Amino acid sequence: MLPTHGRYPYSPLPERSDYSWPGGKRLAFCVVTNIEVYAYRKGTGWDPAKVGEPQTQRNYAWRDYGNRVGIWRLFQLFDELSLPAAHNINSLLYDRHPQIAEAIRKRGDEIIGHGRTNSEHQGNLWELDEKRLIDDVTQAITRHEGRAPKGWMGPAASESNVTPDLLKEAGYRYVMDWPADDQPFWLSTRAGPLLALPDHAEVNDSSSIIHRRNTAQQFADMIVDQFDEMIEQSIAHPLVMIVSLHPFVVGQPFRLPALRRALKHCTQHANKDRVWWTRPGEIADYCYNLPPGVIPDGRSAPK
């Protein structure tokens, strides 16, 4: 037998129920940053030059550029375009860079759990250790924000076989580690259904620019082409488009002009009235209030 996950059944898009986003909108558009904290010369982390390079002061400093400079330029860009945003944050950010969390609060943006640090991945942890990691993150965000996060994305989208179960049991409403769709869908867990939001693995500056060596303009073209196609496809089916950004990547000055042009294209599009400019938590809340069976898989009503 082919190994499988048992989390969701096959659901072809043409066979699904139709629905609209609030106000009759058809495309939900989200910008999500990944604000990450790394260990110095230890653990995991990308390198700007080569894949699989050891951890050094050079690649540590390159990633730290995102917290010292890049994220502030992205905040400025989002303000310029009046774009709401959400932020996948490592919980150690509160100890290392509290000014960033304060700026997120002032913008009214959403904070999403993203592990303690991107120097560790949860996919290879024992269940009890992974539960402790999730609890650590949840408690830190709750302590600083006054409320628990609704959503989770693992560092490097890493998961173990029990991650969805642990997230549901910890009170999470959605997860962004399953890029299997253009619509939200339910994952089965031992504690009830958990919503999966389609954080596209492709429209991601890290995978495009770092791994595939695309230029900033090529990544910007991806955003524009994705938006133009999805805004037309959404006439037939409600869709979700998430743009995933890392401040140490697109926060570099030479990459910002292309990103600015791409996001301006989206916000100034002739059919922008079809778009719900939103955040993942708002999408999740809306989906939980739809009638059972509208969101695939449909076998389980939200709890």
pLDDT digits 0-9 by tens, 109-121: 999 999 999 999 9
Write out the two tokens for 128. Answer: 């009890």
Whether the CB-CB separation of 242 and 199 falls below 8 Å is answered with: yes
In the numeric block, the tokens 């989002």 are attached to 78
Query: Pick from 131, 91, 132: which is nearest to 112 by CA?
Result: 91
Supply the pLDDT for residue 272.
95
Interhelix angle 98-107/127-145, nearest 10 degrees:
60
DSSP string, 35-57: E----SSSS----SS-TTPPP-H
pLDDT at 299 over 80: no
Kindly give, in sequence order, each residue whose CB lies less than 8 Å from that of residue 192, ignoring residues fewer than 6 positions away. 168, 300, 302, 303
Q: Which residues pair with 293 in a beta bridge?
A: none
Distance CA 243, CA 77 (A): 14
Amino acid at 170: A
Q: Name all domains of the chain by residue range, CATH numbers in brackets.
A: 19-38+53-288 (3.20.20.370)
pLDDT at 241 over 70: yes
Distance CA 245, CA 285 (A): 23
Whether the CB-CB separation of 111 and 86 falls below 8 Å is answered with: yes
Count Cβ atoms below 10 Å from residue 214 Cβ, excluding itself.
16
Query: Pick from 248, 208, 278: which is nearest to 63 by CA?
Result: 248
Supply the pLDDT for residue 303.
56
pLDDT digits 0-9 by tens, 88-138: 999 999 999 999 999 999 999 999 999 999 999 999 999 999 999 999 999
- pTM of the full predicted structure? 0.95
Average pLDDT along the chain: 95
Cα 160 to chain center, whole Å? 18
